[in-house]
Each structure stands twice: as C-alpha cells, then as structure tokens.
Amino acid sequence: MKNEASSPTRARAHRILLSWAVIAVVIAGFAGAFGYVGGWLAPHRLTPARFVNQLQADYGIHPGYRRNHAKGVCVRGYFQSNGQGAPYSVAQVFEAGRRTPVVGRFAIPGGNPYAPDSSTPVRSMALRFALANGQQWRTGMNSQPVFPVSTPRAFYEMLQAQQPDPATGKPDPRKLAAFFAAHPETAEFRAWAKTARPSVSFATDSYHSLDAFIFVGPDGRGHAVRWRMVPKATAHLETRPAPPSASYLDTDLRQRLAQGPLRWRLLVTFAEPGDPIDDAAREWPSDRPTLDVGTLVIERTEPQASGPCRDINYDPLVLPHGIEASNDPLLPARSAVYADSYLRRTSEEAHLPGTARPRMKRDPETRS
C-alpha cells in the first residue's frame, strides 16, 4: 500500500477522487437543505399545501372555487369614516370624512360550493378596502365572536377529525368528540355554536375579526384591537323563517339591496393589559372600550363567478400603514394557506396543464 501511495499517478488519482467527493458533498448539501426548507424532505411539517389538501379531503375538489368559504356572493360599496379611529391608527381609511371603496364577499364556511345555507350557523364577510394612496386593507370576518381553536396545528387536526368516513360519507362523530375532548380551548366556540341558529340573511349578522391586530397611531403607539361589523338600523332586519331553497342567503341579499343599501357600523375594541391578543379562541371581557369608527355601506351584489370579488384573495395580512398583524399564530397560517388556495383556483381558471376545468360558470345554482 505504502509503495503504491507514493507513486505520483496514484496520488493524483486519489486527489481527483477526493475532489469529486468534496464537490458531490457540497452539491448534495445545498440540494438537501433546499429540499428540507421547501418541505419535500420534511414530511411532518404543516405546509400550506398539506392544509389545502386536507380541506380538499374534507370537502372534495371543486375546480375554480376557494378551498374554504367556497359558497358566496360578491358585494360592492364603500366605507365612510367618521374620524374617530384616526387618533389610534394612521391608516388613511380612518381619516375624518374619508370615503374608501370596498369590494366584499359574503360566504358560508366549508369547501363545498353547493352546501345548503342552513348547513352551518356561521356566515362570513370579507372586505377589501382600496385606499386612495394605493395601499389596501383586506379582512375576512366571521359571524361567531371566537374561533374554535388557537393554533394552525389544532385547526389542521380539527379538519382531520371532520374528514368524511369513506364508509358512511359523513364525519365520524367519535373522532370529533375526541378532538374536542383533547382541545379545551374550543369551549367558548362550542358554547356559541350550541345556541346559534343559521340566520336567514347576511344582513342581520355581525362579523368579527376574530384575530387581534395592532393599530398604530400618529404618536407611534400601538394599540391591540379586534374589530367587528354590526348591522345598523336593525328595525327592518326582521328575522323570517328560512325559505325552503338551499340558497336563500343570496336571494335575500338581492331583495334587500333592491330596496336600498345595507349598513354596518365598524366597531373597534381595545384590549387591556392581560387580554389574549394571540388567541382567537378566547373572547375579551365585554366591558372593554369600544369605538365606532365609521359605516360600511353595501350597495350592490353580483354573483361570485362574474363579480369583482372572484379574483381577490382576502389575505388578512394585506394591511395598510397604520394596521399591523398581532402575534396571533393563525394570521400567518391564514395568509399562507389562502395563497395556496388562490394559486390552485386561479390556475384552474387559467386552464393550466394539470389542473381541473372549473365548472363555476356553467353552474346555474351559483348564478341564481
């Protein structure tokens, strides 16, 4: 061996072999790190794609539609600020007298665009405020005051527990019961759900931001807030018995808007020290200071297949200067998962290779 190693050709061959090994290790190191960061080599990490896959496993694949809150309608209107919010947030939308155009969407949760409106007591309102300075404020709100869970992981596990059993086509109630038993943070939501009845109109519900955000005022100070839209002039918002149709919310909204605009007050609630600002599953005490910062006026509705809300991803982290995200872990998860859903449905709309054809435009039910 020693004699052979001392031969110069042999030494050169060794050096070259070792050099190739060094090159291979460096390349494999970079490729492996890239694969790990990209999630392909991290099969247990919760990724946006795995989240959306689970939504599809629960609700089926409906090409062209949002993977959650799939059934909805577009609305248009504006937000009229009264200036009360301006001392707490420098966002242009809160300037006194400022009118900001809004494109919104009412919907019901779940990924099935054909679900009956009575299948859930939850209704949602999503809004995109287009500020005059080119900035935007996007928010997605729900009619229940608290979210069922506090973390993306728990939400993912809840979706897993809700996945229909292949044998029955329905979720296994024992799995759901086991999930709720293991997640005591769901108590406030379950207490709400126990008494909540599906409303017969989008117009009679209040819509809550659920997550907390930080308003930043002209003095640079931050204020932890939650907001909600509360229907105005509730006198004419009488509750009627639910019509027999599966899609009565859309019809009701069109009938009401034919008689005139619908209005909501935007109420902002301020946290006090100790209130959970990173936990959407817990309500704040009802005596927290609340400010009426203006009025949302909804004037028109259009079907979601052709309306202006179709191509908007209501990502709650699209925020104007003066509103910032809190450290609620649900916010980045919503942003990341919505982006994945948006990419899938726009790719289907664009008929990109490997995507299913959307059926949205041919479907009479969503047009009605």
Partner 1 sequence: MRRASGMFTVAARALHWLMAVMIIAMLFIGIGMVASVSERHEWLVRIHEPLGIAIFALVLVRLAVRLHHPPPALPAELPRMQKLAAHASHWLLYVLMVLMPLVGWAMLSAGGYPIMLTESLRLPAIFPVSSVAFAVLRNLHTWLAMLLFATFLAHMAAALYHGLIRRDGVLSSMTTRRASVIRLLAREN
The site map against partner 1 for 29-68 (x = CB under 8 A) is -xx-xx--xxx--x--xxxxx-x-----------------
Among 284, 340, 341, 360, binds partner 1 (CB under 8 A): 340
Angle at which helix 152-162 crosses helix 330-349, to 10 degrees, equals 50
The verdict on 264 binding partner 1 (CB under 8 A) reads no
Contact set for partner 1, span 275-334 (CB under 8 A): 310-313, 317-318, 321, 325, 327, 329, 331-333
Compare residues 257 and 339 and give the one whose CB is closer to partner 1: 339
- Distance, in Å, from the CA atom of 169 to the CA atom of 112, rounded to the nearest integer, reads 14
Q: Which of 69, 223, 236, 321 is catalytic?
A: 69
- Please list the alpha-helical segments (H only) found in 7-135: 8-37, 48-59
- Distance, in Å, from the CA atom of 252 to the CA atom of 200, rounded to the nearest integer, reads 8
- DSSP bridge pairs for 125: 106, 141
Active-site residue, 69 included: yes
- Distance, in Å, from the CA atom of 307 to the CA atom of 341, rounded to the nearest integer, reads 19
Q: Are 237 and 231 in contact (CB under 8 A)?
A: yes
Q: Are 152 and 330 in contact (CB under 8 A)?
A: yes
Decide: helix, strand or coil at residue 318. coil
Among 196, 291, 297, 339, binds partner 1 (CB under 8 A): 339
Contact set for partner 1, span 115-154 (CB under 8 A): 133-136, 152
The verdict on 27 binding partner 1 (CB under 8 A) reads yes
Report, as residue numbers or ranges, the catalytic residues.
69
Residues interacting with partner 1, by CB under 8 A? 14-16, 18-20, 22-23, 26-27, 30-31, 33-34, 37-39, 42, 45-49, 51, 133-136, 152, 310-313, 317-318, 321, 325, 327, 329, 331-333, 335-337, 339-340, 342-343, 346-347, 349-350, 352
